Structure 1
Amino acid sequence: MHPDIQTWQQALPHGITLSCRACGEPDRPVLLFLHGFPEGAWVWDPLLLHFSRPENGGYRCVAPNLRGYERSSAPEDVKAYRAKHLVQDIVALIDSECGPLQDGRPLAALIAHDWGGAVAWSLANQHPERLRQLVIVNSPHPGPFLRALQHDPAQQAASAYMNFLVQPDAAAQLAAHDFERLFGFLTGQDHSLQSLTAQSAKASAHWLTPAVKAQYREVWQHGLQGGLNYYRASPLRPATADDPGASTVQIPPEALRIDVPTLVLWAQDDVALLPCLTEGLDAHIPDLTLVPIEQATHWVVHERAERVITEIAGFLQPQTAQPPP
């Protein structure tokens, strides 16, 4: 691990502990990074190091392992992974970093990918006062996602892998033989997860080096069921003969509105989350910047880290951070 990255266990008032990583001084404007499945806080390390440097804003950069991941609390009850609980965790973490709302300051930005983005969308909708800006990387806003799961056969097929991940034995299947199937999830070697892994035809997963594999194993050895419970707790998945999934879900318009300036980065070769999921976003996000990233897959934070950093740096409001003297 890089010597500038601090790690600790952050106990939250409601009984959850989040294992965190950070760079930068505690009194600086805060960038908070949320990871997705099947990853962990470490995937943000290049961004933590970059944005904490004085010449790049001198931010305090914090990345928690979400509940259920690595050394963070991992409740057994699937209901503990519903959105309201995940949002509660991150609001409490913001309190610990920025101070309580009444005497603290908002995040400079909340930056999130995949399931971390699902949490970020909900938090930005419910607590817009807690952040100045929002950055989403390949994580569908619930409005277009629900519409696509109900009416778009291509996205329904692309999301079919979710129906494997909610099976009772999914964790055991993914962990067997030194996580063979879970690495296949990243590289495309496991065709049973075809919708996510077919994108490997367009990318060779050159980023998945032995060192990166070791970092994945370090997270996965703590257990996979917590991450899989996010899928089990959410109805936003394709309907099947035995599971209505998203087909009966309704979301009120006020739960879809995002009133903070938002940057959406979308890797165009993500075949699990199709580019159609960015259509109609401006109906829910008045201040939207949408940037497609060509020749990149769902794992764009690994594949195109410099491009992701450049886009975020260009979006961040200058007044949110000034280099320390």
Structure 2
Amino acid sequence: MTIETWQQALPHGITLSCRAAGQRGRPVLMFLHGFPEAAFIWDELLEHFAQDANGGYRCVAPNLRGYEASSQPAEVSAYRPKHLVQDIAALAQIEGAPLACLVAHDWGGAVAWGLANQQPQLLQRLAILNSPHPGTFLRALQASEAQQEASAYMNFLVRPDAEALLREDDYRRLFGFFTHWGPATWLTGALKAQYRALWDASLTGGLNYYRASPLRPARADDPGAAAVTLPREMLTVDVPTLVLWGLNDTALLPELLDGLEDYIPRLTVHKVPEASHWIVHEQPQLVAQRLAAFLRS
């Protein structure tokens, strides 16, 4: 099945470059990527769920603002959560909300949690892959030394020289994100070329997500998460929610799953011992199976 690509202009002046499979007019699955990735990570799942035998969905994966050929505002403030949520809400309405499911990983998950909280009428289900809920993440960043240490990389990514350092030695540090948990046999030469092209075109946009967010460990010159309070009404999610979590994720620790049920009454959690943060690459068939079962439930 062919992946369709196009530039989608949104009413508020942002354009998102998108990838999709499946006919318009069918129930929509929307997939949101994280850092340092892009919409192409979902291609296998787009093609899978667009097939009639697997539901015959319209499957759409936008490149979030700041990534690939999507709009790349220069101001860090343009990457605050309210703007990111606005983008996906607008795209969902264009594609045919309510979405049958919003599927999201890493920073895409941060956007998805916000959309599900603020505009639940736009989606029927939510599926999260290794992306912390803001309530449990804030708790851990404030009180867990283990998670503070695991998230220390965030304070590197907000440095003004982060782009230059990440581009050194053919993106050695960025490729190291993928190989930190093992050999990453999925990281083929062709996929590396896709990542290089992505980072050549849009590295600053991805880093601006970290620069715009206070949810990072405190340091001497910045209180970070220590200065943040989130009211409960900003944290609850009332749509059926699947959380699929690779337990070998050493950046986002399993303790982030503790207490999720306090915010999400209709919650299903599946822990995957043999997967890391990059579960979409490592276990695509498992992700497809779990998502299909969730869509049928």
Q: TM-score range by the shorter chain?
A: over 0.9
> Which consecutive residues of structure 2, in runs of 5 or more, have no partner in the other structure?
none
Cα RMSD (Å) of the superposition? 0.9
Report the TM-score, using the length of structure 1 for normalisation.
0.90
* Structure 1, 309-318 or 263-272: larger mean CA deviation: 309-318
Which residue number corresponds to residue 41 of structure 2? 43
Superposition map of 1:5-24 within 5 A: 5-24=3-22
TM-score (norm 2): 0.98
1:150 to 124, 130, 142: 142
Deviation digits for residues 70-117 of structure 1 (CA, Å, limit 9, x no counterpart): 00000010000000000000011011111xxxxxx4000000000000
Residue in structure 1 matched with residue 282 of structure 2 by the alignment: 303
CA offsets per residue over residues 23-70 of structure 1, 9 Å max, x none? 000010000000000000000001000000000000000000000000
Matches for 1:1-325 after TM superposition, within 5 Å: 4-98=2-96, 105-188=97-180, 200=181, 203-317=182-296
Identical pairs, percent: 65
In structure 1, distance between residues paired with 2:272 and 2:13: 39
| Rounded Cα–Cα distance in structure 2 between residues aligned with 1:75 and 1:33 | 22
Q: Deviations over 1:146-186 (max 9, x none)?
A: 00000000000000000000000101111123222211222
Rounded to whole Å, the distance in 2 between the matches of 1:131 and 1:41 is: 20
Q: Structure 1 segments of 4 or more deviating over 6 A?
A: none
> Does the Cα contact within 8 Å between 2:93 and 2:122 map onto a contact in 1?
no
Corresponding residue SS for 1:135: strand
SS of match in other structure, 1:44: helix
Number of aligned positions between the proteins: 297
Corresponding letter in the other structure for 1:315? F
Match of 1:7, SS state, is strand
For residue 20 of structure 1, give the secondary structure of its aligned residue in structure 2.
Answer: strand
The CA distance in 1 between the partners of 2:177 and 2:274, in whole Å, is: 19
